[in-house]
Amino acid sequence: MNLNSDAMLVGLHIAAWSGRQYDRKASDHVAAHHQASFSAGRYNKRLLPKAAFAAITATVSRARTTHYEQTLPWDDKGARLLTVANYERYTELMDGLSERLVRERARFIEDYEDNVDQARLDLGQLFRIEDYPPREALRRKFALRYRIAPVPDADHFMAKLAADDTDRIQRDIERQIEERLYGAVGDLYRRLGEAVERVSERLREDGEGKPLVFRDSMIGNIRDLVDIVPRLNIFGDDDLARLCEEVKDKIAGVEPDALRPSRSFDPAARARVKRDADALAERFAGYFAPPAEVQREAA
For residues 227-240, average pLDDT:
92
What is the pLDDT at residue 173?
Answer: 64
**d(C-alpha 288, C-alpha 193), whole Å:** 9
What is the pLDDT at residue 201?
Answer: 94
214 or 154, which is more confident? 214
CB burial of residue 54 (10 Å; 0-12, 13-18, 19+) = exposed
What is the pLDDT at residue 288?
Answer: 56
What is the pLDDT at residue 209?
Answer: 79
Helices 54-69 and 87-123 cross at an angle (nearest 10°) of 150
For residues 72-85, average pLDDT:
89
Asked if the model's pLDDT at residue 189 lies above 60, the reply is yes
What is the pLDDT at residue 298?
Answer: 41
What is the pLDDT at residue 176?
Answer: 72
Q: How far is CA 299 from its chain centroid?
A: 30
Q: What is the 3-state secondary structure (H, E, C) of 270-283?
A: HHHHHHHHHHHHHH
Average pLDDT across the chain, whole number: 88
Write the DSSP string, 154-181.
HHHHHTTS-GGGHHHHHHHHHHHHHHHH
**d(C-alpha 50, C-alpha 53), whole Å:** 6
pLDDT band of 53, cuts 50, 70, 90: very high
Asked if the model's pLDDT at residue 163 lies above 60, the reply is no
Query: For 246-273, what is each residue's pLDDT tens digit?
Result: 999 999 999 999 998 888 889 899 999 9
Neighbours of 24 (CB within 10 A): 10
* Domain extents in the chain: 3-149, 154-298
77 or 158, which is more confident? 77
**d(C-alpha 158, C-alpha 169), whole Å:** 8
For residues 72-96, average pLDDT:
93
Under 8 Å CB-to-CB from 202, ≥6 apart: which residues? Answer: 212, 213, 214, 215, 218
The CA-atom distances, in angstroms, between 15 and each of 12, 19, 68, 140 are 10, 12, 17, 8
User: Cβ distance 73 to 183 under 8 Å?
Assistant: yes
Residue 298 falls in which region: left (phi positive, over 0), alpha (psi -120 to 50) or beta = alpha
What is the pLDDT at residue 39?
Answer: 87
For residues 5-34, average pLDDT:
92
**d(C-alpha 7, C-alpha 83), whole Å:** 4
**d(C-alpha 203, C-alpha 205), whole Å:** 7
Beta strands (DSSP E) in the chain are 7-16, 20-22, 44-46, 72-73, 80-83, 142-149
How is residue 211 annotated by DSSP? B
User: Which is it for the CA torsion 185, 186, 187, 191, positive or negative?
Assistant: positive
- Looking at the whole model, is its pTM more than 0.85? no
Residues found in the chain: 299
- Indicate the residue type of 31: A
What is the pLDDT at residue 169?
Answer: 61
Half-sphere exposure for 53 (CA within 13 Å, toward CB): 17
